[in-house]
Amino acid sequence: MSNEEYMIFYGEKDIDYTKSNNYAFLNWDFDNSRGGKNNVYQSVEDNFVMGNAYMGNAVLGLFSILYSGNYCSVADTFIFPILFDIWHGVELWLKSSVDAIYYFQGIDNKKKKNHKIHEYLEILEGELKKLSLNQTINVALPEVIKLIQELQRVKANFDFARYTFNRQGNYQFYNAPIGKAEQWQNKEKNNDGQTDVSWISKMPIVPNTCVDLQELFVIVLGIVGNFRPFVEYLMLIIDEGGKLTDTAYNNFFEKHKKVQEDIMERDNNKEDLDIKEIMKIIHSYIL
């Protein structure tokens, strides 16, 4: 057999446009001729769209697990790509937001690019406070803050959902034995402040760490419903003009929420949500 019979990637001359649903077009969502990687708005928009992809995939994965009742405990395995999608999706939306805020103000973003999402959150909060957008912070960021606080609480490294050991060969927070610095479950203290030596004898060598799937789903939906519209609004200001004020954003958010409520009311009329209906909702809410 020739190599052509096993092609995954198709070029222009190979595509049968009468069967376009058989393909995933890699360039369509990003082919907007903004001027390349040195154009700030290109980066703002691309990060937003790519973030949509990762968050949409996370929602689809979480819903599938919950809808199936976590059949055969598949969540124990599938949770890792889902958590990676969430981390990377939020990271992309935060980067898009920070770049957009700096763009409005004519400021070069000198922050070295990395995966430390808590740093991007701190920058975004700081810039919004400078602009007196405290109400917007309260609407757009609560679930993002909650997620990042949880990741920090358990000492999650950015690659924890990709590799069981980090680049230095160290444990991640969930597989480190008791006593290792990476293990987030610390030895408990007695009332007198002394270490309770009996605690360690009651724990397995590697104590269990689990994720509350429903709580995670609620937080992710909150991020999608409250933070994503904010990032979208920043892009609209760059693209079409407008003001970045609490009042202006609140007006946009209320209209956006009404549209989403209408979509949900329409979909709630269905007795059961099959995979096609879930894809429709994800397309309407996220993509």
Q: What's the pLDDT tens digit per position in 143-196? A: 999 999 999 999 999 999 999 998 889 999 999 998 888 999 876 655 665 555
Q: Whose CA is closest to 88, among 114, 116, 54?
A: 54
Q: Is residue 109 part of a domain?
A: yes
Give the residue-averaged pLDDT of 264-272: 63
pTM of the complete model: 0.88
Rounded Cα distance between 198 and 180, Å, is: 17
Residues 6+ apart with CB under 8 A from 252: 229, 233, 236
Q: Token pair for residue 155?
A: 């000492």
More confident call, 8 vs 4: 8
pLDDT at 65: 95
Q: Within a 10 A sphere around the Cβ of 250, how many other Cβ atoms?
A: 13
DSSP states of 154-178 as a string?
TT--TTTTT-SB-TTSPBPTTTPPT
Q: Is residue 184 part of a domain?
A: no
Label residues 33-52 b or e (16+ Cβ within 10 Å = b).
Answer: eeeeeeebbbbbbbbbbbbb
pLDDT at 104: 86
Rounded Cα distance between 282 and 286, Å, is: 5
Residue 282's pLDDT band, with cuts at 50, 70 and 90, is confident
Is the predicted pLDDT of residue 72 greater than 50, yes or no?
A: yes
DSSP states of 175-192 as a string?
TPPTTSTT-SSPPPB-TT
Count of domains in the chain?
1
Helix axes 142-153, 117-130, angle to 10 degrees: 140
pLDDT at 54: 98
pLDDT at 119: 95
Q: Is residue 33 part of a domain?
A: no
pLDDT at 1: 44
Q: Token pair for residue 247?
A: 């009042």
Is the predicted pLDDT of residue 213 greater than 70, yes or no?
A: yes
116, 245, 225, 140: CA torsion to nearest 10: 40
Q: What are the φ and ψ backbone dihedral angles of 165, each rounded to 5 degrees?
A: -130, 145
Mean pLDDT (the chain) is 88
Total residues belonging to the chain = 287
Residues 6+ apart with CB under 8 A from 144: 90, 94, 121, 223, 227
Q: Is residue 105 part of a domain?
A: yes
pLDDT tens per residue across span 131-152: 999 999 999 999 999 999 999 9
Rounded Cα distance between 196 and 204, Å, is: 16
pLDDT at 284: 82
Q: Is residue 3 part of a domain?
A: no
pLDDT at 218: 96
The number of helices, as runs of H, and strands, as runs of E, in the chain is 10, 0
Type of residue at 57: N
Residue 31's pLDDT band, with cuts at 50, 70 and 90, is low
Secondary structure class of 54 (helix, strand, coil): helix
Domain that holds residue 241: 38-156+212-285
CA distances to 39, 76, 155, 167, 171 from 179, in Å? 48, 24, 14, 20, 12
More confident call, 188 vs 14: 14
Q: To the nearest whole percent, how much of the chain has pLDDT over 90?
A: 61
What is the sign, positive or negative, of the torsion defined by CA atoms of 277, 280, 285, 286?
positive
Q: Is residue 129 part of a domain?
A: yes
pLDDT at 270: 59
Q: What are the φ and ψ backbone dihedral angles of 126, each rounded to 5 degrees?
A: -60, -45
Q: What are the φ and ψ backbone dihedral angles of 70, each rounded to 5 degrees?
A: 55, 55
Residue 257's pLDDT band, with cuts at 50, 70 and 90, is confident
More confident call, 229 vs 267: 229
Q: Is residue 166 part of a domain?
A: no
Among the listed ranges 69-73, 109-113, 188-192, 223-227, which one has the minimum average pLDDT value? Answer: 188-192
pLDDT at 165: 94
pLDDT tens per residue across span 103-114: 988 888 777 788
Contact 236, 242 (CB under 8 A): yes
Q: Is residue 171 part of a domain?
A: no
Contact 252, 245 (CB under 8 A): no
pLDDT at 228: 98
Is the predicted pLDDT of residue 252 greater than 70, yes or no?
A: yes
